A and B are shown apart, each in its own frame.
Chain A
Amino acid sequence: MKLLLENAHIEGIRFFEAYRKHGGYRSVEKALKMSPAEIVEEVKKSGLRGRGGAGFPTGLKWSFLAKPEGIPRHLVCNADESEPGTFKDRYLMEFLPHLLIEGLITSSYALGSNATYIYIRGEYAWIPDILEQAIQEAKNNGFLGKNILGSGFDCEIYVHRGAGAYICGEETALIESLEGKRGNPRIKPPFPAVQGVWMRPTVVNNVETLAAIVPIINMGGEEYGKIGVGKSTGTKLISACGNLNKPGVYEIPFDLSVEDFIYSDEWCGGIPKGKKLKACIPGGSSVPILPANLLLTTAKGEKRLMNYESLSDGGFQTGSMLGSGGFIVLDEDQCVVKHTMTLAHFYMHESCGQCSPCREGTGWMWRILKNIEQGKGKMEDIDLLWDVQRRIEGNTICPLGDAAAWPVAAAIRHFRDEFEWHVLNPEEAQVRNFGLAHYADELLIQN
């Protein structure tokens, strides 16, 4: 069942005419006849969870928004998508810009935002034009601007381009950046719901979250909540990449098994050249990597499904997270140490430098990993690496510290033998990547 991408293949769906013809903007018409509180209630009933990575219930987040008299409120759309492995929001904005705009209008109405901003990562340099055109079309047709559809509600949507900083995906850093400052995350509290952009109450939501508001209003929160499994309601966009036959953006039902997603021809179509599955990061680079055996089945021996609960089954010991849905697959020839090293470099490069554990620790981890990868490591380095990540995690201002620590921790937890191999075989480690057993076919279930 597709809720977001159902019409993605239709010719000209990027433009208002085709989009409207296929049922577009119905949710705005419906929503403007409801009260803002009723819409928030529908979103709560839907059980929608933030699609940016944290999975926080959207309706609950909306209900936290402070509403003091006389102070404007703002909705900000987080389109800063920069988690390695994730590229779904780009797909939505590029091919279905009106879906996002539609969701934004309804959400702005629900939250009382008369000026709504889309903060898009600077590298997506051609997308603002697409969005601005969609905004203009919506405006020309009375869905944006003053007195929308005669409801008395005014709303403008502006596109604000970032300029290359992963950290601006963190909501308070995004707010700082939107204010024209360095993307240094703020120290919370106060939370954006009370003091956000320009010290006004602000809600920041991911692109996919806001797009999902459209089907929720169209079908009603309760109906939406029935789709899916447990607390994973609706559908999820997955960005599949790495060593796959058919990488790309997929809208999946939450009862899909990981195995089907990777191997079935309907989805990713398996691994190129018939190679074995070695490992996978199922939710964007920050979440723990899992070896194939633990990816396909949980430690309890159940089939693992593509949803919030199942992917995190077993905690960090034997599970991972759905995160933002960036599904990175590593085949048998890939080197976990090298892969972890590139991620460590990424976090070092993207640290804002504000707080000491992240500023100093991310670079330290990368340097140790580089040494091990290049065959210059010592056995003690593996324990040192563990100790460094442990002291970053949880001790930083924003979640970037955790995001940098978790991949390293998980790589050591599940692939320690591979790190040790690099230390013991320094010359070989320099010239070839290395794959170790943990393969799906062998299904070695560790308790």
Chain B
Amino acid sequence: MSDQPLFKVTIDNVTVEVPAGTTILQAARQAGPEVAPPAMCYYSKLEGSGGKCRTCLVEVSKGSEKDPRPMPKLVASCRTTVMDGMEVKNYTSERVLDARAGVVEFLLINHPLDCPICDQAGECHLQDLAYEHGKAGTRYEFQRRTFEKHTLGDKIQLHMTRCILCYRCVMVADQLTKKREHGVLDRGEHAEITSYLEKNLDNEFIGNVIDVCPVGALTDKTFRFKNRVWFLKPLNAHRDCEKCCGKVTLWNRGDEVFRVTARKDQWGEVEDWICNDCRFDKKKTSDWVIEGPREIARHSVISANKYIGLKKPTETIDEVIGKKPRLFMDINKVSGVNRKDIDLSLIEGPAHSIDFDKDK
């Protein structure tokens, strides 16, 4: 559409030109990951998403060329469209960073922080967000919120305590399936995701709720506790599927397929939805045509060098917890895989145990 007017927007001093109707967040993503605000609830492929988590708040320091007044409040960049000549401050605004630190704190006060046993660890947006904008330690002294356990069937695991109520999974069920069976019940801090009647979610595309979940609230039961994502090698693969595009990422260890997910772009969003057959049932390498390694662009420990250049906490663990931690074992002594000198992403093809053999 060449006749559409282009608007000039400046985000953290980077200027881009975008079509009218683009949101600040989308414009910022075009400008590059250095200025793009984080997003926990917004998902470009889900209609009506965004606005809820408040992590993407930015400061509009100049409204537009015509009306240069700044906006008085911070705005949710995912739901605010750009104006011509708009100037936005994201990482360059103290106000934004302070508000975002507040949002991270709010999201974490009732989070169980069970990353060590959470399957999402390593590719969790909340981990990234906390690392980049959060503080070590908590000021919350009360008991964390718990929920009654609900089941969503034998393929999808629900951990309500980890949920940040982004509503993405509800939108997936609404927009990808004909009949939604789960939703957000109750309200306020008791609001929870459930099917209310312990119904199994049953739809050919419902597995996509796992991919859109930014945290470990919805995880793949067929992969549960089987491995850590950073020990796996992501591979692009495809198969002829009559239900979906059939283009997936396999998460392999050697020849073994541990998990199948949709392919995610650098913002953590899927490129195309995949069906349950591809996700849950095709767990043999021979089911797939392997295309090659998949680069994971921006997500925590599975992407190499993700945290380079970031300011890391200076406190030692002793300072944070107020005492010397008691270590049960030195993981590097007993495990062959957690070795600093081996960079998984540098290994061509699937990683095999021989790659981790110390005496190699």
Contact = CB atoms under 8 A, between A and B. Distances in A.
Interface of A: 165, 182, 187, 348-357, 359-364, 367, 384, 390-392, 394-397
Interface string B171-192: 0000000000000101111110
A198 B52 CA distance: 21
Nearest to B145: A363
B128 interface: no
B196 to A, nearest CB: 14
B99 A391 contact: yes
Interface stretch (B31-39, B102-110, B247-255, B297-305): B102-110
Contacts of A390: 102
19 contacts: A182-B187, A348-B188, A348-B189, A350-B188, A351-B187, A353-B191, A355-B53, A356-B53, A356-B164, A357-B106, A359-B165, A359-B189, A360-B109, A360-B110, A364-B106, A394-B74, A395-B54, A395-B74, A395-B99
B142 interface: yes
A315 to B, nearest CB: 14
Contact of A384 (B53, B110, B139): B139
Given A360-B189, A363-B189, A395-B103, A355 B54 contact: yes
B109 to A, nearest CB: 6
Contacts of B53: 355-356
Given A187-B76, A356-B106, A361-B106, A396 B187 contact: no
A301 B152 CA distance: 64
Given A187-B51, A391-B105, A395-B74, 6 more contacts: A187-B76, A360-B106, A391-B102, A395-B54, A395-B102, A396-B54
Contact of B73 (A349, A384, A394): A394
B98 interface: yes
Contacts, number: 89
A208 B191 CA distance: 33
A351 B102 contact: no
Q: What is the size category of the interface that chain B forms with chain A?
A: 20 to 34
B160 interface: no
The 5 closest A-B pairs by CB, nearest first: A391-B102, A353-B191, A187-B51, A360-B106, A351-B188
A356 B189 CA distance: 9
A367 B53 CA distance: 22
Given A187-B76, A397-B51, A356 B103 contact: yes
Given A351-B187, A356-B107, A395 B57 contact: yes
Contacts of B190: 353
A392 B107 CA distance: 12
Contacts of A391: 98-99, 102-103, 105-106
A130 to B, nearest CB: 29
B98 A364 contact: no
Contacts of A363: 188-189
A398 to B, nearest CB: 11
B200 to A, nearest CB: 24
